[in-house]
Chains A and B, each alone.
Chain A
Amino acid sequence: MAVAWIGNRETLVERAAAHAAALLGSSRCPVFSLDTDIHGTRAAIALAERVGAAYDHAADGAALSRETALFTDKGAMTVAPGETRRRADVVVIVGELPQIHHEFVGELAETVPDLSAKNQREIFLVGSKGASAPPLNNGRTATLLSCGEASLGATLAAMRAQCRGRRTSQPVSNFDDFAKALEAAHFPVFLFSGGATEGLALEMLQGLIADLNRKSRASGLHLPANENGWGSALASTWMTGFPLRTGFARGFPEFDPWRYDVARMIAAGEADLHLRISSSIVQPQKKKNRMALIVLAKTQEPIAGAAVTIAIGEAGVDHEAVVYSSRTGSLRSVDVRAASELPSAATVIRLVASHVSAEAALSC
């Protein structure tokens, strides 16, 4: 089975890696887009430093950037998923949550908090009229809190105002039920994600949570827009001090969520080389400009338009991996599901890095 290609021609992994390294070495503005596990991310960041690249998440860079901005700009009150399951007697789903979290929401609807004196859980949904919650088990439905067509941010602002006893131009639907539930609640938890929620709405939500904590307890459960993406953000933060959208153009890490928005850099024609790392199968991309493309992906054929394609295994399927788990709110080790010969992203990236420069004092 072929595992590496230069253009459309099959080649040895070693040669493909050397060619990728040569392209990286001659690139003036390389960008990396990542969708990989922790060790793939660590290897990619070490390579990015070596070649002066910027990096971002492949598909959910914008959503993850809204989530990191909440922390870098405002701060937050958050709670662990385990505590949410065991303690939350009121659960408020804020806006649309990514599909990956629907199972957990269903589980919250099915269970009752065992560490709460109140042996039940009420569920609310904040969104515009017609918004739908993830499917809840036991035939339950979430009570909708909305201000008609108003945005999520505006609805949260109205909720916050009404909680403080202020009047709003348009009242929040079912607010009395919500107020009553809050009054009786011991530990309400708001589920949020940057997936479909604007940055200011996330801040407004934190304002509401802070208000509630003046007299009683409440917190927010961060359900990241993308689990691999949040894992990469964490690894980037410990390795460089900064989350995703960090670049090494000047030889040291600089965090700039606008400048190093990799999708923007590609669209604007700033990048002259794109290294795409994805342990899942990548759809061939249509080539738009002269930018060179290197793809590391689980594929059996060369990616159309890529100067170099190297096949890698899927983290936690072909090889063991460490990934972020929103179910535990931390990193988790995942065993192999169907061991294969395919190398991990980290292995291939290190191989590429070994061809970039011999002065490597410390490989990651």
Chain B
Amino acid sequence: MLTKISGGDIIDPVNGRLGKGDLWIRDDKIVAAPAGGAADRTIDAAGCIVMAGAIDIHSHIGGGNVNTARLLLPEQHAAHQARPATTPLSNAGWSTFQTGCLYAKMGFTTVVEPAMSPGAALHTHLELADIPIIDKATLAILGNDDFLLSMIRDDAPSKMIEDYVAWTVASTRALGVKVINAGAAAAFKENVRTFSLDEVVPSYGVSSRKIVKTLQAAVDSLGVPHPLHVHCNNLGSPGSADTAAATIAAAEGLPLHLAHLQFYGYGTEGKRRFSSAAARLAELVNATPEVTIDIGQVMFGQTVTVSSDVMRQFSARGSAHPKKSVIHDGDGNGGGIVPYSYGKDFYGTMQWAIGLELFLLIDDPWRVFFTTDHPNGAPFTVYPALFELLMSREARAETIAELPKSAMALSTLASIDREYTFEEIAIMTRAAPAKLLGLTDRGHLGVGVTADIAVYRRDENIAKMLGQAAYVFKDGDLVVQDGEITHYRWGKALRLNPSPDKAMVRRLDDYHQQRYGLSLDWFNFPDSAIAREQPFGEVACRM
């Protein structure tokens, strides 16, 4: 089928297309304007902007810890207003079904779950497979697992470590690798309560830095397109900016991605010894081209923090609101679920302001990514409001007026005039994520790429405009019209598929047999276990 999206303002910085024009889709791909020019379907996009479908690189949308958070908080759903049940499971609050629909309505077509425990890969993929419409991907967590820590302790050759990383990525169907507070979850099992970049994991004598560097090198040399995704040590502590600065410096010329930098943007100034270090971190990021970051913006309100940083979550459980939490020591990382409410008090305000400062002070939209670390900083449903804050200093000023002056005095936010342009938004939420993840088939509107397209009707109210897309196409299917889902489909989970080394598989089988009393079969699964026609889409490694 040939579709013409006619007369919209096209915003496609990758291909240098900016301004009024038509966009043509044949089946699931974007094509050049055909010579004959007769479309089977014409979408009138006059008064609209047309961008590629958005890509979220870091949003906890599925897997064991997310599901435990749902289990812990049934009362969170009471707030969801019941609507007529016209579509299957469309009213199911914070479910997989709702997740796909809510993302699609905002014009997002690909979302990455950034923290898959390798042992729970099947569970994670089953949840992702139940998220409709959009494509998904996951990052496999390494760096607190005995197998890797033992290899590092024993000075295993880098080839062997690469084989293990490749096996993990292949068998868990991941798109990349994440390390979460490297070594801390292992140390916590031995009763260590705080852990920094140069501290060593007891029993292994391996430092956090060494784990990060080892994984960074393995990921790079395997040609995994996405750089090692790092959740640094000391998340949330006053003074954690030092840790982030040290980790940025540790990139040492090789690509490194730092997740939710806002949670490390904390200095120790002021009488509460909690201040903004955003300007310092932004300067470091600006000066370190091999580093990319996402923000993890905080927005005010109730949420739940879901993290595989079990040590940090354990220490945060006293601030749980409502007062309950789950702390799980897993085979590698485990996780912690701590509900939390961000109030407009001093601390909440600082966190909110620091996130925005980072967004606005980091110059290059190719290296800063739009996230709330859903649901940790806020649920992803706040994205429209967050776009408005980035694109309108007036909107920021209005919010600042309601916030404690004592907090704003320790932040530079009020003095920043920058407003993101649609072109920058298109880079930050489309082109740059596709590049960062190695997804060459999306993120822009060039001929031949997947027809993932978001059309927004221009409105002075940016949140309204970007919150309810006028039209969304996923793989050429029209899935959203006027902010409502019009068509359901199942997306894929995007994965790498490096060939595992046979000797490594034998080694791992022996290891599992000896240490867990179980063969490796207990942890593997065939694609058919997902019970969908095409559950996975393959992405190539760098040659």
Query: How far is it, in angstroms, between the C-alpha of A159 and the C-alpha of B92 when the chains are bound?
Result: 42
B522 contact set on A, CB distance < 8 A? 325, 327-328, 332
Is there a chain A Cβ closer than 8 Å to B327's Cβ? yes
Looking at B74, B83, B130, B517, the one whose CB has the most chain A CB atoms below 10 A away is B74
Partner of A71, one of B72, B127, B190, B329: B72
Query: How far is it, in angstroms, between the C-alpha of A233 and the C-alpha of B67 when the chains are bound?
Result: 10
Is there a chain B Cβ closer than 8 Å to A14's Cβ? no
A-B contact pairs, 15 of them (CB 8 A): A49-B89, A72-B74, A75-B326, A77-B326, A79-B329, A80-B119, A80-B328, A80-B331, A82-B119, A117-B203, A239-B92, A253-B89, A322-B531, A327-B518, A333-B529
Is there a chain B Cβ closer than 8 Å to A360's Cβ? yes
Query: How far is it, in angstroms, between the C-alpha of A87 and the C-alpha of B186 when the chains are bound?
Result: 11
Interface contact A333-B324, CB-CB below 8 Å: no
Chain A residue nearest to B328 in the complex (CB) = A78
Enumerate A45-60 residues with CB–CB distance to B below 8 Å. Answer: 46, 49-50
Chain A residue nearest to B100 in the complex (CB) = A362
A363 contact set on B, CB distance < 8 A? 88
Query: How far is it, in angstroms, between the C-alpha of A329 and the C-alpha of B130 when the chains are bound?
Result: 21
Chain A residue nearest to B521 in the complex (CB) = A335
Chain A residue nearest to B94 in the complex (CB) = A241
Enumerate B198-226 residues with CB–CB distance to A below 8 Å. Answer: 203
**Do A107 and B488 contact each other (CB < 8 Å), given the known contacts A237-B67, A238-B70, A242-B74?**
no
**Do A251 and B82 contact each other (CB < 8 Å), given the known contacts A87-B189, A328-B522?**
yes
User: Which are the 10 A-B pairs with shortest beta-carbon distances?
Assistant: A252-B91, A75-B324, A333-B525, A251-B85, A333-B529, A362-B488, A241-B93, A79-B329, A331-B123, A240-B92
Interface contact A50-B517, CB-CB below 8 Å: no
Query: How far is it, in angstroms, between the C-alpha of A85 and the C-alpha of B325 when the chains are bound?
Result: 24
Interface contact B71-A71, CB-CB below 8 Å: yes
Looking at B64, B92, B329, the one whose CB has the most chain A CB atoms below 10 A away is B329
* Cβ contacts A316-328/B at 8 Å (1 or 0 each): 0000101001011
Is there a chain B Cβ closer than 8 Å to A282's Cβ? no
Interface contact B120-A330, CB-CB below 8 Å: yes
Query: How far is it, in angstroms, between the C-alpha of A242 and the C-alpha of B203 when the chains are bound?
Result: 40
Query: How far is it, in angstroms, between the C-alpha of A79 and the C-alpha of B330 when the chains are bound?
Result: 6
Partner of B89, one of A46, A76, A233, A250: A46
* Cβ contacts B71-97/A at 8 Å (1 or 0 each): 111101100001111011101111111
B89 contact set on A, CB distance < 8 A? 46, 49, 239-240, 253, 362, 364
Query: How far is it, in angstroms, between the C-alpha of A107 and the C-alpha of B77 when the chains are bound?
Result: 41
Enumerate A344-364 residues with CB–CB distance to B below 8 Å. Answer: 346, 360-364
Enumerate B50-77 residues with CB–CB distance to A below 8 Å. Answer: 62, 64, 66-68, 70-74, 76-77
Chain A residue nearest to B96 in the complex (CB) = A238
Interface contact A331-B122, CB-CB below 8 Å: yes
Enumerate A35-93 residues with CB–CB distance to B below 8 Å. Answer: 38-39, 42, 46, 49-50, 68, 71-80, 82-83, 85-87
* Distance between B479 CB and nearest chain A CB, rounded to angstroms: 11
**Do A38 and B92 contact each other (CB < 8 Å), given the known contacts A72-B71, A115-B203?**
no
Interface contact A252-B71, CB-CB below 8 Å: no
Partner of B331, one of A83, A248, A333: A83
Query: How far is it, in angstroms, between the C-alpha of A82 and the C-alpha of B333 when the chains are bound?
Result: 12
- A72-B71, A239-B95, A252-B85 are known; give 4 further A-B pairs, CB within 8 A: A243-B74, A328-B518, A361-B88, A361-B488
Query: How far is it, in angstroms, between the C-alpha of A76 and the C-alpha of B190 when the chains are bound?
Result: 19
Interface contact A237-B324, CB-CB below 8 Å: no
A233 contact set on B, CB distance < 8 A? 71
Residues of A within 8 A of B (CB-CB), count: 65
Is there a chain B Cβ closer than 8 Å to A255's Cβ? yes
* Distance between A221 CB and nearest chain B CB, rounded to angstroms: 10
Query: How far is it, in angstroms, between the C-alpha of A79 and the C-alpha of B326 when the chains are bound?
Result: 11
Query: How far is it, in angstroms, between the C-alpha of A79 and the C-alpha of B66 when the chains are bound?
Result: 16
B66 contact set on A, CB distance < 8 A? 238
Is there a chain B Cβ closer than 8 Å to A182's Cβ? no
Interface contact A322-B122, CB-CB below 8 Å: yes
Query: How far is it, in angstroms, between the C-alpha of A165 and the C-alpha of B132 when the chains are bound?
Result: 54
**Do A346 and B88 contact each other (CB < 8 Å), given the known contacts A82-B331, A241-B94?**
no
Chain A residue nearest to B486 in the complex (CB) = A361
Query: How far is it, in angstroms, between the C-alpha of A330 and the C-alpha of B65 when the chains are bound?
Result: 11
Is there a chain A Cβ closer than 8 Å to B502's Cβ? no
Chain A residue nearest to B97 in the complex (CB) = A239
* Distance between B311 CB and nearest chain A CB, rounded to angstroms: 11
**Do A362 and B88 contact each other (CB < 8 Å), given the known contacts A71-B71, A83-B329, A241-B94?**
yes
A86 contact set on B, CB distance < 8 A? 146, 515-516
Interface contact A240-B119, CB-CB below 8 Å: no
Query: How far is it, in angstroms, between the C-alpha of A325 and the C-alpha of B82 when the chains are bound?
Result: 35
Partner of A49, one of B85, B203, B529: B85
Query: How far is it, in angstroms, between the C-alpha of A107 and the C-alpha of B516 when the chains are bound?
Result: 10
Chain B residue nearest to A104 in the complex (CB) = B517
**Do A78 and B329 contact each other (CB < 8 Å), given the known contacts A49-B89, A239-B130?**
yes
Query: How far is it, in angstroms, between the C-alpha of A39 and the C-alpha of B535 when the chains are bound?
Result: 15
Is there a chain B Cβ closer than 8 Å to A111's Cβ? yes
Is there a chain A Cβ closer than 8 Å to B334's Cβ? yes
Enumerate A227-260 residues with CB–CB distance to B below 8 Å. Answer: 233-235, 237-243, 248, 250-253, 255
* Distance between A363 CB and nearest chain B CB, rounded to angstroms: 8
Query: How far is it, in angstroms, between the C-alpha of A183 and the C-alpha of B52 when the chains are bound?
Result: 60
Query: How far is it, in angstroms, between the C-alpha of A125 and the C-alpha of B203 when the chains are bound?
Result: 30
Query: How far is it, in angstroms, between the C-alpha of A234 and the C-alpha of B84 when the chains are bound?
Result: 26
Chain A residue nearest to B327 in the complex (CB) = A77
Is there a chain A Cβ closer than 8 Å to B524's Cβ? yes
Partner of B92, one of A253, A328, A331, A346: A253
Is there a chain B Cβ closer than 8 Å to A187's Cβ? yes
B74 contact set on A, CB distance < 8 A? 72, 241-243, 255
Interface contact B91-A330, CB-CB below 8 Å: no
Is there a chain B Cβ closer than 8 Å to A177's Cβ? no
* Cβ contacts A160-182/B at 8 Å (1 or 0 each): 00000000000000000000000
**Do A75 and B325 contact each other (CB < 8 Å), given the known contacts A49-B88, A320-B528, A320-B529?**
yes
A234 contact set on B, CB distance < 8 A? 67, 123
Enumerate B350-389 residues with CB–CB distance to A below 8 Å. Answer: none
Chain A residue nearest to B524 in the complex (CB) = A333
A253 contact set on B, CB distance < 8 A? 77, 89, 91-93
Partner of A333, one of B64, B83, B122: B122
Interface contact A237-B71, CB-CB below 8 Å: yes
